[in-house]
Amino acid sequence: MMNSVLSMFSCRKRAEKKAEMADRQCGILVIANRSYNCDGLGLQEIPNVIPSSTETLDFSFNSLFSLYSWMFSHFKNLEYINLSRCGINWIYNNAFSNNSRLNTVILTGNPIIYIADIAFLGATSLEHLYLQETSISDLSFIPLKTLNSLVTLHLGSNFISSIRISEDITFENLTMLNFALNQINTISVQDSKFLKQIKNLTLILKGNNIKYIEPNSFNHSDFNHLDLTGCAWNTDVSSLLNGLNGLTTHTLSIGIFDDIDADINLLPSSLTGLCNISVKELSLQYRHLSEDSKESFSCLTKIEKLDLTSMHLHSLPHVSQPNVVKELILNKNVFPSLCNISSDSFPLITRLHIVGNQNSWGLGNKCLERLSILKYLDLSHNDFHKVSCCTAQFSGLHSLLHLNLSFGAPLQLESPAFPANKQLEVLDLSHVFLLTDGSSSPFSNLADLRTLNLSYSHVNSTYIMIFEGLIKLLYLNLNGNFFHNRILKSDNLFSKVLQLETLILSNCDLEVIETQALQKLENLKSVDLSHNKLTSFATNAFGNLSGVSLNFAFNMISTIPISLVRNISNKTTINLSYNPIDCSCSNIEFLTWYKEQEKIFLDKTNTTCGSPPSLTGTELTKVSISCGIPLPYIIPIIIGALIFIIPTLCLVQYCRRRVYAAI
């Protein structure tokens, strides 16, 4: 029995030692006996110290040259292997024969010149194969007959000129086929025959200069996404669309890349091929529309999401045909006014994005009034003409829940600013210089607002009534705003938002937080006070210190009295990184408490000593100092000693006198 126990102990020790050797030889041990990272160590073979129980192995940027049947045969639990840029030229028979659990193989960036017919035969669970940048020019080069369990096949950035795959190859589980950035110029009916057997496929052909697709090539094909971005950039897009007749796809992308200077504009007749395609989401981004015409949109009546990003649009034509567009993206165009988008042509829109208009433009009045069911409106990164906002601009938007006006020009907010949008739940005004008259809160009617972002918005902190009416506000971001005299006072603007759970006050140049400044916010779960100039760990400002995340990183806190941390529960998390913590005896009580409560602290690596010089930069968890009696105890000890000594001396003197008197 004893010999058996000793044998088990010895085996365990050998396994632990082997794992330790693998860690040293193979770089980063991610999970002991299961996951190893040997990335970029210049190795020329798989280290034999890596345990056979390994499930994940990153061996990228090493040197292997060839893959043989014995190289991975002992890794029977292997599920993921990354062999990117290992200089692999040859992949021989049964290279993965014993890897029945292997799910993902990444061979990106290898100059492969030979793959054996049964190289992947044993990898019966292989679902994801990456062969980008491997110089492949013909699909027959890949032993696809043994890969019928594939879910994704990535063949981007090669020299493939045809997507034709033999019809006797079946891909029952394939969901992603990526041919991006190859040399495919045309697609014929024969090329695409095999695609008809696959449902809900995402076919990526972007970056191929496909100039012609033969009609009926995709007839009866059912895709999830067909990506033709960057194709036919120097010919009319109709050469693609006319060949997609009979196609059913959820998403169709036929835009171009933003760095392509396309010579061919979209003519009104260019999009007529869409009439013969069933598509719900269409992207035309970065193409140029030559003229505004109702005919351009005549075949978009069944599209639910339309992306017209950066199409140099000055206006959208009024569309007379009924349409079902629910999401419209008009980013990076050149509209002179919000009224130029002809919003009344799209009455069913629930999401509207007009981000980064390329020139200064106007919000107009009642331009969106007909969009009564609009829920999401993103007008961020726009330079609007100076206006008083936002009663007339957002009139009629009675269903609006999310409004983003961030990174825009200064706004003069009315009081109230959003009278027609009282159902708002999210409002983002970050990086917008807000001007208010100070008479009453611009948000007074937004009783349902849950999230308010006012970061870098020049909020007047002395305007205590600014948040009046926000009775359900849970998240408030005031990052980058400033408080009068750099002090967060006890009587402050947060007395009107008592339901707050998250408060961000980073980069506010704060130096002092008064006692009880945030004690009324009993529901706080996260407070970010990082990147300020605080010298005190002001826990006495909070009413509840249980289950709260306190971020005091990047401040000037050095000494922390133990009285400020005694009431902190182990459910709280604290970040004190990048503070010059005093690691001398004057702070010994906190240092001791820190080690006892180490689990509640975040970013311990950067929570270091700022003084004394001999310990500067040392992690608090590694500090070990020997101190005498702490200074706070010295005075009580002295007083106690005097109280004892003085009466004793008096008693002795009295006794002496009695003795001498008796003599």
pLDDT score recorded for residue 358: 92
Record the tokens describing residue 322, joined without a space: 């009924």
Q: How many CB atoms lie within 10 A of CB 615?
A: 20
What is the residue-averaged pLDDT of the chain? 89
Q: Is 82 exposed, middle or buried (0-12, 13-18, 19+ CB in 10 A)?
A: buried
* Residue 249 backbone zone (phi > 0: left; psi -120 to 50: alpha; other: beta): beta
pLDDT of residue 267: 80
pLDDT confidence bin for 484, thresholds 50/70/90: very high
Residues 391-429 pLDDT 10s: 999 999 999 999 999 999 999 999 899 999 999 999 999
Question: What's the pLDDT score for residue 423?
Answer: 96
pLDDT at 660 over 80: no
Q: Which residues pair with 187 in a beta bridge?
A: 213
Under 8 Å between Cβ of 256 and 235: no
Distance of alpha carbon 604 from alpha carbon 621, whole angstroms:
8
Residues 6+ apart with CB under 8 A from 231: 205, 206, 207, 208, 209, 210, 240, 254
pLDDT score recorded for residue 38: 92
Output the pLDDT for position 460: 87
Question: Which range is least confidently modeled, 175-189, 378-392, 644-658?
Answer: 644-658
> Looking at the DSSP assignment, which residues form a beta bridge with residue 630?
none
pLDDT at 31: 73
Q: Which residues contact 622 (CB under 8 A, 6 or more apart)?
A: none
Q: Do 471 and 495 contact (CB within 8 A), yes or no?
A: no
Burial of 392 (0-12, 13-18, 19+ CB in 10 A): middle
In this prediction, residue 263 carries a pLDDT of: 63
Token duo for residue 174: 């394939």
pLDDT above 70 as % of the chain: 90
pLDDT band at residue 222 under the 50/70/90 scheme: very high
Average pLDDT over residues 129-145: 95
Q: Which two tokens stand for residue 404?
A: 């983003």
- How far lies 529's CA from each of 308, 500, 513, 538, 555, in Å? 41, 15, 10, 10, 8
Cα–Cα distances in Å, from 179 out to 200, 226, 483, 659? Answer: 17, 11, 55, 114
Question: Looking at residues 259-286, what average pLDDT do you find?
Answer: 86
Q: Please check whether residue 385 is in contact with residue 360, taking contact to mean a CB–CB distance below 8 angstroms.
A: yes
Instruction: Please report the pLDDT score of residue 544 as a whole number.
Output: 81
Q: Where are the beta strands (DSSP E) in 50-125?
A: 56-58, 66-67, 80-82, 90-91, 104-106, 114-115
The string of pLDDT tens digits covering residues 596-611 is: 999 999 999 999 999 9
Per-residue confidence at 291, pLDDT binned at 50, 70, 90?
Answer: low
User: Cα–Cα distance between 283 and 11 in angstroms, integer?
Assistant: 60
User: What's the average model confidence in pLDDT over 376-394?
Assistant: 92
> What is the structure's pLDDT at 659?
63
Asked if the bond preceding 416 is cis, omega within 30° of 0, the reply is yes
